[in-house]
Chains A and B, each alone.
Chain A
Amino acid sequence: MTLTNKPPTARSTLSQRGSSALGDRVFSWWTLGTGLLVLAILGLILITTVREAWPAFDAMGLRFLTERTWDPNPAAGDAIFGALSFAFGTAISSLIALLFAVPVSVGIALFLTELAPRRLRGPAVTVIDLLAAVPSVVFGLWGILVVAPAMVPVYQWLHDVFGGIPVLGSIFGPVSSGRNFMTAGLILAIMVTPIITSITREVFSTVPRADKDAALALGATRWEMIRGAVFPHSFGGVVGAVMLGLGRAMGETIAVALVIGGATNITANLFAPGNSMAAVIVQQFGESTGTFTAALIGLGVVLFAMTVLINVLAQTVVRRAEARMKGSVA
């Protein structure tokens, strides 16, 4: 640190430097403190949740992760707590959400930064941000009252069309009601779109004017300019935006709990009911006791671990891809 070398000059400058040196010191301690605070909070959450979940981990061992049965009150024998079915539900519904939300969000962001007339930008941004302000329970209720019943004929049609084809047939399987992985994914897609859109928009707007002008000056069309100048420059940021969206989708609780169907189920059929980890926690926590409560907290630990893992993975991907893309295009 440079704070210590105060040059012995005139008093006025000395006092001035002195005060700013104090400011620097306070600032550095403050930022260091808040930085460490985040780590400390995360660490404490992990420690306490693992401790609370321990009775379940202890009883189930590794089967907590590999077992697909979730039976707190079996007809005979000990309770079985397996997170696999719910982890599957979390993964599949979030995946569907990203599949729909990412292309739409990137499209909206590109439109706003590159194509939209200046007058339209402000209102459009406001509308998208408003979408982010809608409480998730409202999305959930809209999901069960409107979307689920309305989508049944669509699902039925997809099943009728693709049902006979080997792989697609098992993905677009029989429809029982509108509450399933697909509906949960669609609702989540709408919920994460504003997040991904607003961050990608910010990222796209940081692309230097010079880069874009250079591409256009070389005779690139607008799409070629976007592909050659905008995308490589903002790849890392877009992946970050997608990760934030994914985090929201995986952790979303009440909206998913309402529309996903509430069945302990692992299946390729997107039109079958299932359940996600966050949803199970909120549904069953109120009436749980003992090891059952511990198992529900255990689901939280698994969810936490999954999120961390995916984020680390994403960072690695970004680092590698960024080096390559920037290198090749620039």
Chain B
Amino acid sequence: MHPDREAYLVNRNVLSRRVLAGVALAALALTGCASNDNSTEPGSNSGGDSAYANLSGELKASGASFPDAYYQEVIEAFKGEAGKVTVTYNATGSGTGKKQFGEGLVDFAGTDSLVKDTDGVAAGSFLYVPTVAAPITISYNLQGVDKLQLSPETLAKIFQTDIKTWDDAAIKADNPGVTLPSTPIVVAHRSDGSGTTSNFTKYLDAAAAGTWKLGSGDTVNWPASTQGGEKNTGVAQIVQQTNGAVGYVDLSDAKATGLKFAAIKNKDGQFVEPTIEGTTAGLEGAEIAADLSYNPLNAAGATSYPITAPTFIIVKTSYGDAAKADLVKGFLTYLLNDGQDLAKEIDFAPLPASLKEKALAQVDKIQG
């Protein structure tokens, strides 16, 4: 079984219990409503239910695998609110998602990267809706070292194998007072094309400009002596199995594998550990463009964790079908309101309030 898939199934088990509880609550609320039929204003809690309960139909989506766990949680929870709506999200990867969206095969697509000319999506025909973000950890496995701090320049040198052992002067300079062994460094990276690689290398491009020479993208030309792993779990496994290994892994997989993460020096010169709070702080510090594309990498702010991956859903500006547009709007409104509360438990960072408002305004622009 696919590792991501497995994680998802585990999540789902946790979830189904929650959904059951939710259904039970909803049932209570319904019986409550039935007993006093003439009440015109239902309680504020059950008010949300009726907003989605009238929707019915099917939504198909595909795209980025990075937010897949979160989207599946939201879809499951949404079932409890809108029983007549079926939403499916296939984690095909951002590239395929955008391609399918451009061909009209799916109603919306998830993507970690912005739309390029070669993606097959016409400019002006779509809107970005930011949904959630997550920190990318620098996970490491080094016997005897439990706390590690890295500056962007050191990080760049490690990942392009300019630094070959853990007791290198540059690493020592970042970690005063820590005894570092002379273990050789094993760099682990993604072997599959990945938005995580893209965000990580973009971060190094921005934060370690002049030092980082490998460029940025879904796939970069890693030095021959590095190791590639399939998906986040593959990289996490290499780090877990190899003393001296270091790799970039999303927070939920790094936690699930029990890895240690380094604190990274942010733009304000502070060493910050990857946490949900640090990530949301990073989102607040990010500059947000008019089309809501934004870049939280290397964001300002003393508590910002600098390596944060944003992710978007792209929707059509106009669906030419009022019912379909309502469905998309309904699902995304749910995701941006109640759905945001589900993020933290599975190690995704919810959007800060300001960005959430903008995202909701963006959803309102969708036309039938």
Contacts and interface: CB of A to CB of B under 8 A. Distances in A.
Interface of A: 69-76, 80, 144-145, 148-149, 176-179, 257-258, 261-267, 272-273, 275, 279, 283-290, 292
B226 A263 contact: yes
Interface string B308-352: 000000000000000000000000000000000000000000000
Given A176-B186, A284-B192, A73 B242 contact: no
Contacts of B154: none
Given A149-B241, A263-B224, A287-B194, 16 more contacts: A71-B215, A73-B218, A75-B214, A145-B237, A177-B242, A179-B238, A257-B230, A262-B191, A275-B191, A284-B192, A286-B93, A286-B95, A287-B95, A288-B95, A288-B193, A289-B95
A264 B224 contact: yes
B31 to A, nearest CB: 47
Interface residues of B, number: 43
Interface of B: 92-96, 99, 116, 118-120, 184, 186, 189-195, 201, 213-222, 224-230, 234, 237-238, 241-242, 245
A262 B234 CA distance: 11
A74 to B, nearest CB: 5
Given A176-B186, A177-B242, A264-B222, A287 B228 contact: no
Contacts of A279: 191
18 contacts: A72-B218, A73-B201, A73-B217, A73-B220, A75-B214, A176-B186, A176-B227, A177-B227, A258-B234, A262-B227, A263-B227, A263-B228, A264-B221, A264-B224, A283-B193, A283-B228, A287-B95, A287-B194
A274 to B, nearest CB: 8
For the complex of A and B, list the 5 residue pairs with the smallest distance between their C-beta atoms, beginning with the closest.
A262-B228, A73-B217, A262-B191, A287-B193, A286-B93
A287 B218 contact: yes
B238 A287 contact: no
B116 A72 contact: no
A71 B191 CA distance: 13
Nearest to A296: B193
A135 B234 CA distance: 19
A75 B215 contact: yes
A176 B190 CA distance: 17
A261 B225 CA distance: 10
Contacts of B219: 72-73, 284, 287-288, 292
Contact of B228 (A75, A145, A273): A273
B20 to A, nearest CB: 32
Nearest to A180: B227
A193 B227 CA distance: 28
A266 to B, nearest CB: 8
A75 B220 CA distance: 9
A292 B99 CA distance: 14
Contacts of A69: 221
Nearest to A69: B221
Contacts of A257: 191, 230
Contacts of B227: 176-177, 179, 261-263, 273
B156 to A, nearest CB: 12
Contact of A284 (B184, B193, B216, B229): B193
A293 to B, nearest CB: 9
Contacts of A149: 241
A273 B216 CA distance: 22
Contacts of A273: 226-228
B324 to A, nearest CB: 26
Contacts of A179: 227, 229, 238
A110 B225 CA distance: 42
Contacts of B194: 287
A279 to B, nearest CB: 8
A21 B93 CA distance: 58
A69 B219 CA distance: 13
Nearest to B120: A289
B63 to A, nearest CB: 10
A287 B224 contact: no
A76 to B, nearest CB: 7
Contacts of B190: 262
A267 B192 CA distance: 22
Nearest to A76: B215
Nearest to B220: A73
Nearest to A265: B224
